[in-house]
Structure 1
Amino acid sequence: MSSAQLYDTIGATYTATRRTEPRIAARVWAALGDARTVVNVGAGTGSYEPVDRDVAAVEPSALMRAQRPARAAPCVAAAAESLPFEDQSFDAAMAFATLHHWRDPVAGLREMRRVARRRVVVFTHDTSAAGWLDRFWLTRDYLPEAASLLVDRPSLSELAGAIEARVEPVPIPWDCADGFFEAYWRRPEAYLDERVRRGMSVWTKVGPDAEQRAVRSLRDDLASGRWAERNRDLVGLDTAELGLRLLVG
């Protein structure tokens, strides 16, 4: 299933759960530096597009494009691997939490490099490090099937190398406003909410059997206190390091 087909299927409630997290947005916008023109690749509903710059958006899903607010940047239908722009058309190119849906992430990053004169900024996940599955209790204890989604995907070093980028860790605040997969690391009850899960592509990709088994197990462990016992070290944390990364090249 292509990224466009995926989000045409699951994206109907996206704007309700996937809002801009201002602390992460500040990191992305700071990384753009003094770029005045920016292309946002895999733009979705536009939640991380800077409002003080001239932005063009690229989004393959018709459903996601339809949910972009009236004030959002103009958006074209295209894939990251074949951007419909001339070389060095923009000061910078950005992509937020979208690389894992691209058919060929390295090719997409090279396209971003082609159309950007100064800077490429990408928010993504490091799923190539040893033990990544155990970093997050949800994949470790309830959804090991997530590992199968990453077979043959490029490593973080390969992604960074495609745009000669430095890698910066991005901690997740406990009250993160953007409902991506790891966002509720200190609010486990949120994963029992069907609407919240529908804003996370992982659940659709692993399939309904794995999803319902994980939800049942989590619900039981929350009721019994087992989750709290296993994860008591999380209660006092304001942020968590769960492998989110910013590539700046």
Structure 2
Amino acid sequence: MTAVYDTIGINYAALRQPDPRIAATIANALGAARTVVNVGAGTGSYEPGDREVTAVEPSIEMIRKRPATAAPAVQASADELPFDDKVFDAAMAILTIHHWPDKAKGLRELRRVTRGPIILLTFDPAQRPWLTDYLPELAALDERNMPRLDAYADWLGPVRIEPVPVPHDCTDGFLYAYWRRPEAYLDARIRSGSSSFWSIGGLDAGLSRLADDLASGEWDRRYGHLRAMDQYDAGYRLVIAD
């Protein structure tokens, strides 16, 4: 079995440290669930330590990067979960659905194996964080890969959708985490922690313009108000299907 993170997960464990504030939001959504399946689990970010977690991850390289204290992991794909029906109290899938080859089938599988809530952390492709002004390819990528928010009810039935604000000092280096730290996007190592930067080409012109605007003060003239904010709605959403 091959998976995208077999190739791009080089710095993932170091750059994608779970943010405790986002972790608290996810834990609260899981409610009283004691057994949880985490699909697209990666290196174990956001897996609650006070519950019985079973991780599912297609990339063997990501599984190898999971710490010894992490939950046991099964190498499998979201659209073919190797579990019986209704064996878990809850399911979670964190910033992963855009990688699934068959999103509808994967979500049906989560519903099949879960008797309680399904918690998804995803991104609203209708949103346009400031980085897309420099790299419009990111917006196009989001539109191609991220399901529209109204699709989740079609797949899962009634859902609640809640915004997940990104803290200014977020420890998890996902794509738009550095909204108040624009200089970070000029660092190739920082960019390597987000699959989106591996998926698009032609970055040089946009990054050069960002560097010029930071040096000249143009970025601060346009977006400097963000530097005074503690958190920001970058478009991340928690989808909860009870």
Which TM class, normalised by the smaller chain length? over 0.9
Decide whether the 8 Å contact of 2:123 with 2:146 is kept in 1. Answer: no
SS of 1:82's equivalent in the other structure is coil
Partner residue of 1:55? 53
Partner residue of 1:197? 191
Change (3 A) 1:53 1:125: same
Q: Which amino acid aligns with 1:89?
A: V
Partner residue of 1:155? 148
**1:39-188 paired onto structure 2 within 5 Å:** 39-127=37-125, 129=126, 132-133=127-128, 136-139=129-132, 141-149=133-141, 150-151=143-144, 154-164=147-157, 165-188=159-182
Partner residue of 1:12? 10
Q: Which amino acid aligns with 2:16?
A: R
Quick one: distance in 2 between partners of 1:119 and 1:32?
Answer: 7
Change (3 A) 1:54 1:77: same
Which contiguous aligned blocks of 4+ residues in structure 1 show a shift greater than 6 angstroms?
Answer: none
Decide whether the 8 Å contact of 2:97 with 2:146 is kept in 1. Answer: no
Partner residue of 1:243? 235
Q: CA RMSD in A?
A: 1.4
Change (3 A) 1:68 1:39: same
SS of 1:16's equivalent in the other structure is helix
Quick one: distance in 1 between partners of 2:11 and 2:53?
Answer: 24
Decide whether the 8 Å contact of 1:166 with 1:248 is kept in 2. Answer: yes
Q: Which amino acid aligns with 2:87?
A: S
Deviations 1:143-174 (A, max 9, x none): 10123323375321112432232111111111
Decide whether the 8 Å contact of 1:57 with 1:75 is kept in 2. Answer: yes
Decide whether the 8 Å contact of 1:8 with 1:61 is kept in 2. Answer: yes
Decide whether the 8 Å contact of 1:160 with 1:166 is kept in 2. Answer: no
Percentage of identical aligned residues = 54
TM-score by length of 2: 0.95
Decide whether the 8 Å contact of 2:98 with 2:147 is kept in 1. Answer: no
SS of 1:60's equivalent in the other structure is coil
SS of 2:116's equivalent in the other structure is strand
1:33 to 16, 21, 31: 31
Decide whether the 8 Å contact of 2:76 with 2:82 is kept in 1. Answer: yes
Deviations 1:34-88 (A, max 9, x none): 1000000000000110000000000001111110000001101111111111110
1:113 is displaced (CA, Å) by 0.9
Quick one: distance in 2 between partners of 1:217 and 1:160?
Answer: 40
Equivalences, count: 239
